[in-house]
């Protein structure tokens, strides 16, 4: 049964069903599916925003999603380097640490 749960359901479903509903139905069911931007572009924007806000807790899932949506490891690493000068060095250093771990796990599981 847990294999059919969404990431939001697994993370917080027992605590905040409404936030799960909004996440699954509105954010990922509507916003991510709008035709105005490609999934690749949406991933790049989302990763950049998470890094800029220092939201590294949400970053692993969105880095993985970005790879699925066509961004390469090199493009994502370059994004982090670029953001070091706009979002701040500490945020970029935190993000690159998360990215290094996520991509190493992906490589080990491939």
Q: Could you report the per-residue pLDDT of 14-50, keeping only the tens digit for each?
A: 999 999 999 999 999 999 999 999 999 999 999 999 9
- Predicted model pTM: 0.90
Tokens 């069911």 belong to which residue? 29
Token pair listed for 45: 């924007």
Token pair of 8, please?
């939001």
Q: Tens digits of per-residue pLDDT, 37-96? A: 999 999 999 999 999 999 999 999 999 999 999 999 999 999 999 999 999 999 999 999
Decide: helix, strand or coil at residue 65.
helix
Could you tell me the fold of the domain covering 37-110? AhpD-like (1.20.1290)
Q: Where are the domains of the chain?
A: 1-34, 37-110
Instruction: Give how far the C-alpha of residue 9 lies from the chain's centroid of Cα atoms, to the nearest Å.
Output: 16
**Going by C-beta distance under 8 Å and a sequence separation of 6 or more, which residues neighbour residue 95?**
50, 51, 56, 59, 80, 83
């Amino acid at each position: 049964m847990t294999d059919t749960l969404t990431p939001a359901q697994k993370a917080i479903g027992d605590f905040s069903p409404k936030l799960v509903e909004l996440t699954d139905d509105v954010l990922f069911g509507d916003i991510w599916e709008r035709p105005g931007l490609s999934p690749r572009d949406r991933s790049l924007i989302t990763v950049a925003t998470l890094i800029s806000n220092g939201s590294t807790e949400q970053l692993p899932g969105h880095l993985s999603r970005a790879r699925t949506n066509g961004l390469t490891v090199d493009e994502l690493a370059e994004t982090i380097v670029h953001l070091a000068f706009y979002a701040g060095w500490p945020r970029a250093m935190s993000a690159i640490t998360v990215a290094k771990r996520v991509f190493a796990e992906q490589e080990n599981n491939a």
